[in-house]
Structure 1
Amino acid sequence: MSEDTPLIYVVAAERSGDLLGAGLIKAMRSRYGNGVSFRGMGGEAMAEGGVPSTVSIEGLSILGFFDGLKAFSRIKERVAEVVADIIRHKPDAVVLIDSWGFMLRVAQGVREADPSIKLIKYVGPQVFATRPGRAKTLAETVDHLMSILSFDERYYRPFGLPVTFVGNPTLDRIEPGDGATFRARHGIAADAHTVLVLFGSRKSEIDRIGPAFVASLEQLKAEREVTPIIIVAGAVKEQLAPVLDHARSEFGAVIVDEAEKTDAFAAADVALACSGTVVTELATAGVPTVTAYKLGWLTWAIIRAFNIMKAPYISLVNIAADEMLVPEFVQTRCRGGLLAAEVSALLDDPKRRERLHSELAAATDKLRGEGDASENAAQTVFELTQ
């Protein structure tokens, strides 16, 4: 590293963070060229952007307290590895993307070993929804937060953490797809009803919601003519293989990878999706969506017992709109029959689908921010390293 060239260390522990990291790196290189260099821990997207991972992120996509306990030794080992690499290379700034538990441990490790290294959190914990105390913890641990939510700043201001709202890069990534071409390419009739199915990108998500999604497809196929379209995240393709084989043979499902995502969005009448980033992506594309989620039962029991969940909805789109534009089926309501009934109701009501198309797009406008989010993040990081 030359004296005039900042070294930025980008840390991402799962797929969504990897995409944010890749977008940040691309934007910084486009804007500053050789005026900045990178090192980091991430996945395929960051590697394709020229920043191969220094530490494996395999098995770090974890949600829930008890899942975290099971993976604690693996998390601890990866944290130690990435902290050691950061200290060895002494970057000008470390950008820690999403993944609250993992990134908090990395930040604390770096802070203890070398307080001079600037720590930037990219995507804050959702303190508006649960565990507001994390705002104070984050303020005590990092130097700056780059937020993707316009309403985040108010939660961190009392603790003195500087916050820059950069916008949501997820919304910038969604390009209009070609639904007609997608249908022709996969032999789907122009007037056929299609249901886009997204099982999630975490193994635990597939284990928990997969059976309900399959049951919903079975009920839909028994009651009506419908063509399922399943988009498969590369990280869980092997795990989903038996489900995909069954869906292809029993339901006539069309199976595609993420390279066809935007076209598949455009070809879909309705989507059935695991709650997460993809629900916001679908809303941006105006796709009427039914979402579901399940945590481990012990984690869920703790959340209910201690009233940890504060937000009225689990989907950012619903929170932004302050109404249930995306029907949510959480925990005990994540059942095949309920999901199939809601999907059928949407398929049977083209006027409702048309209205939702406009309302979903309007809700995501509130989340978008001004300008290109990755460009805004790139500028923020560069200015903080000067």
Structure 2
Amino acid sequence: MSELEDVKPFKLFFVVGEESGDQLGAEVIKALRARIGDRLEVCGLGGERMAAQGVQSIFPLHDIAVMGITAVLERLPTIIRRVHQTVDAVIAEQPDLLLIIDSPDFTHNVAKRVRKKAPHIPVVDYVSPSVWAWRPGRAKKMAAYVNQLLALLPFEPDAHKRLGGPPCDYVGHPLIERLDDLRPASGERAELGEGKKQLVVLPGSRTSEVSRLLEPFGKAVELICAQDPDVEVTIPAVPHQEQRIREGVKSWNVQPRIVTGEAEKFAALRCANAALAASGTVSLELAIAGVPMVIAYKLDWFFRRLKQINRFIKIVAVDTIVLPNLVLGDYSIKEYIEEEANPEALSKGVLALLSDSPERQAQLDAFSRIDEKMRLPEGESQAGKAARIILKTAGISD
């Protein structure tokens, strides 16, 4: 490295759209500073964690951090205005690299416009959109404005190669670095037949998920406990859904224990013998924790309408939406979608997992392979690998 290179600053512009991206961004900044020190200059759009690392956000993150079709439509004028404001800020700063993190509906709209106005600025996308599951044509389109993709799931590089997407590298998933939080200590999880069986019920973190799944989950729990009275039920609720869930379970014949916060949630997973859960990242948490599960998913009105025209428009690319199935290349986790997610079917699936059944053993056997699929080489962290690839994309050797 020349003396000039050694002192030349590296300006990195961040665009994130929600809290999870803010957390990833903050960790990348720490990893980059560990590599290039004070050469790093950071700017852009971020939240509180990135602010603590020196990013003065161009506007508050809550302006765009909305979920669900209805919420997006209500805030659409603001979101559009913020997209253009962010693009203008990138062009004004002329960074050495633009790093967009997750929230593709916002961040990719920024990246596309930056590419048109300033094609010399390399773009790295941290967290792949789910092109392998939904609208696979997006992968090829991304290749026009994304130079490098950093994936959280180990099957995503092959998926993008198959679909014509941008260059993609697996950098690890945050959960695989938290094994001590998710795996039970000795004696923490009772074996089947040793006391009460522990069932965790996870109806989701979004209002739309909870409103669609809480009622069929409650009826399924009633059927489960009627056939197996030794079952105890715990619902780990995210704080912003706690009151909604407490109100919803008042009509349940079997009253669950409700816990809140991540620490209590992980404690419940470490004790659980089986789970009934909404589709999403929680399925990966359960698999890493070694908890056999039944997964349910019900579409909202907008995507249910899309499903009706699915024979005319190809929007679904995989046969399963359960993340551990995709990671492991194994279909042992049963998923119940739409009409299949009824109390009778869900209860039957869960009861099989609360006994020494072939279904339970198949999932446990599959989970035993998750570490080899998801762990990075010894000594390399998710943020560290992401930082290394970011610098390489920008043409900087550290």
Query: Aligned residue for 1:379?
Result: 388
5+ residue gaps, structure 2? 1-5
Q: Deviations over 1:14-54 (max 9, x none)?
A: 35434433443343344444342434544565556665754
Amino acid of the residue matched to residue 172 of structure 1?
Answer: E
Amino acid of the residue matched to residue 331 of structure 1?
Answer: E
1:320 equivalent to 2:316? Answer no
1:13 equivalent to 2:20? Answer no
Is 1:218–1:251's contact at 8 Å kept on the other side of the alignment? no
Q: Distance in 2 between matches of 1:6 and 1:76?
A: 29
Question: SS at the partner of 1:140?
Answer: coil
Query: Aligned residue for 1:256?
Result: 260
Q: Which moved more, 1:91-100 or 1:50-59?
A: 50-59
Query: Aligned residue for 2:168?
Result: 163
CA-CA distance at 1:362 after TM superposition: 0.9
CA-CA distance at 1:122 after TM superposition: 1.3
Q: 1:338 aligns with which of 335, 342, 345?
A: 345
Question: SS at the partner of 2:62?
Answer: coil
Q: Deviations over 1:118-155 (max 9, x none)?
A: 21111223333332221221011222111234443455
Is 1:122–1:147's contact at 8 Å kept on the other side of the alignment? yes
| CA 85–24 in structure 1, closer or farther in 2 if over 3 Å, else same | same
Query: Aligned residue for 1:273?
Result: 277
Is 2:249–2:255's contact at 8 Å kept on the other side of the alignment? no
Q: Distance in 2 between matches of 1:132 and 1:374?
A: 27
Query: Aligned residue for 2:364?
Result: 357
Question: SS at the partner of 1:141?
Answer: coil
Query: Aligned residue for 1:348?
Result: 355
Amino acid of the residue matched to residue 107 of structure 2?
Answer: M
Is 2:199–2:232's contact at 8 Å kept on the other side of the alignment? yes
Q: Deviations over 1:201-229 (max 9, x none)?
A: 22322222233233333433444232222
Question: SS at the partner of 1:110?
Answer: helix
Q: Distance in 2 between matches of 1:326 and 1:49?
A: 40
Query: Aligned residue for 1:194?
Result: 198
CA-CA distance at 1:255 after TM superposition: 1.0
Q: Distance in 2 between matches of 1:349 and 1:50?
A: 53
| CA 383–241 in structure 1, closer or farther in 2 if over 3 Å, else same | farther
Question: SS at the partner of 1:196?
Answer: strand
CA-CA distance at 1:192 after TM superposition: 1.9
| CA 171–61 in structure 1, closer or farther in 2 if over 3 Å, else same | farther
Query: Aligned residue for 1:123?
Result: 127
Amino acid of the residue matched to residue 365 of structure 1?
Answer: E
Q: Distance in 2 between matches of 1:27 and 1:341?
A: 47
CA-CA distance at 1:287 after TM superposition: 1.3
Q: 1:214 aligns with which of 208, 213, 218?
A: 218
Q: Distance in 1 between matches of 2:386 and 2:244?
A: 34
1:233 equivalent to 2:238? Answer yes
CA-CA distance at 1:345 after TM superposition: 1.7
Q: Deviations over 1:231-263 (max 9, x none)?
A: 23345445545347777x951414131123433
Amino acid of the residue matched to residue 95 of structure 1?
Answer: L
Is 2:330–2:366's contact at 8 Å kept on the other side of the alignment? no
Q: Percent identity?
A: 32
Q: 1:83 aligns with which of 66, 69, 87?
A: 87
Task: Provide the aligned length of Structure 1 versus Structure 2.
Answer: 379
Question: SS at the partner of 2:61?
Answer: coil
| CA 177–156 in structure 1, closer or farther in 2 if over 3 Å, else same | closer
Question: SS at the partner of 2:99?
Answer: strand
Question: SS at the partner of 1:251?
Answer: coil
Q: Which moved more, 1:193-202 or 1:10-19?
A: 10-19
Amino acid of the residue matched to residue 388 of structure 2?
Answer: Q
Q: Which moved more, 1:152-161 or 1:224-233?
A: 152-161
Query: Aligned residue for 1:282?
Result: 286
Q: Which moved more, 1:341-350 or 1:220-229?
A: 220-229
TM-score, normalization: structure 1?
0.82
Q: Distance in 2 between matches of 1:168 and 1:142?
A: 21
| CA 135–218 in structure 1, closer or farther in 2 if over 3 Å, else same | same
- Aligned residue runs from structure 1 range 104-123, under 5 A: 104-123=108-127
Amino acid of the residue matched to residue 234 of structure 2?
Answer: I
CA-CA distance at 1:280 after TM superposition: 1.4
Amino acid of the residue matched to residue 193 of structure 1?
Answer: K
Q: Distance in 2 between matches of 1:285 and 1:336?
A: 25
CA-CA distance at 1:111 after TM superposition: 2.7
- Aligned residue runs from structure 1 range 6-85, under 5 A: 6-43=10-47, 46=50, 54-57=59-62, 60-62=65-67, 69=73, 71-85=75-89
| CA 333–379 in structure 1, closer or farther in 2 if over 3 Å, else same | same
| CA 252–294 in structure 1, closer or farther in 2 if over 3 Å, else same | closer
Query: Aligned residue for 1:295?
Result: 299
